[in-house]
Structures are given as C-alpha cells and as structure tokens.
Amino acid sequence: MQTVHTLFISAADPRDGMAVRILFLCTHNSSRSQMAEGLARAIAPADWVVASAGTDPRGVNPLAVRAMAELGIDLRDHRSKSLDELLHQPWDYVVTLCDDAHEACPVFPGGRNRLHVGFPDPSAVEGDEATRLQAFRGVRDAIRQWIERWIPSLDRASA
C-alpha cells in the first residue's frame, strides 16, 4: 500500500520559465527510484528534467531492468547515483519512495516541494525468479499508476 505526504518547502520561484525538475529518491537507487525515473521520463514533457538517486546506492537491480523493458522503457544504461551528486542542484519536486530515504532525506537548498510516496521494496521479496519478477511488476505498475495521475496534475506555474 502506498502512502503520500506532501511538504511544501518554499513558495518563491527563482527559476520561472525553466523546465520542471523532479528527483526520485530511495535508499539504494536500485529499483523503485530507477523505475520511477524511467516512467516519469516516458510520461513527462520532453523538456522536463527527471533523475533519481539513493542515500546508499548499490547498483540497478536486473529485475527492475527486466520489468521496465516489458513496458518498452530501457534502464540498461542507468546507474545508481548518490544523493550527494544531486543535492545542490535545484529541484522543483523531491519525491521519496521509501520510508528510509524519507527519514534520511536532507533539506535541499534548491528544493521547492518534497513529497513522500511509499511503495514496498520489491527486492525484499524472496522466492524463485518468477516470484521476485512478479513483485517488481507489481511495484512498477503501482508507481506507474501514481505517476500517470501525478505528472498531468502538475502545473508548470506552481512547480
């Protein structure tokens, strides 16, 4: 089950007229945040900047790559990035996808809106490969449904 919490960090917009910038965060930047990045890039306007990072990056999970390939989204060239790499860039939306990243997420000097949308960790599912892949598909689909509702609701003027 997903949870959604929104924290508006700042009302000022020194970036008027610039593309919307979204950063997805998760602990390892291996599954949920990578899938969210791929989905958002596929759905958002082409000029938007979408990235993902982790508080403790560990590499992109091959099952996340497979689950996304089923939708025609290629994550093979993605890499896990540390939050430190992106911390001082301006972000309109910083979206945490797991409770650990939400609690560890620092204040972003350039961040305007912080959201937490919790999804279960598909890499925590045990079992054979088919069982684990099905877990990735389920989380992928839940993230996709949320992004398909969220992205169109964003107004560039309020970003």
Mind telling me the catalytic residues?
Answer: 26, 98, 105
Please list the residues that pair with 49 across neighbouring strands: 21
Judge whether 7 and 113 are in contact, CB under 8 Å: yes
Which residues are CB-neighbours of 55 under 8 A, at least 6 positions away? 25, 26, 27, 83, 100, 101, 104, 105
Residue 63 burial (CB < 10 Å; 0-12/13-18/19+)? buried
The 8-class DSSP code of residue 82 comes to B
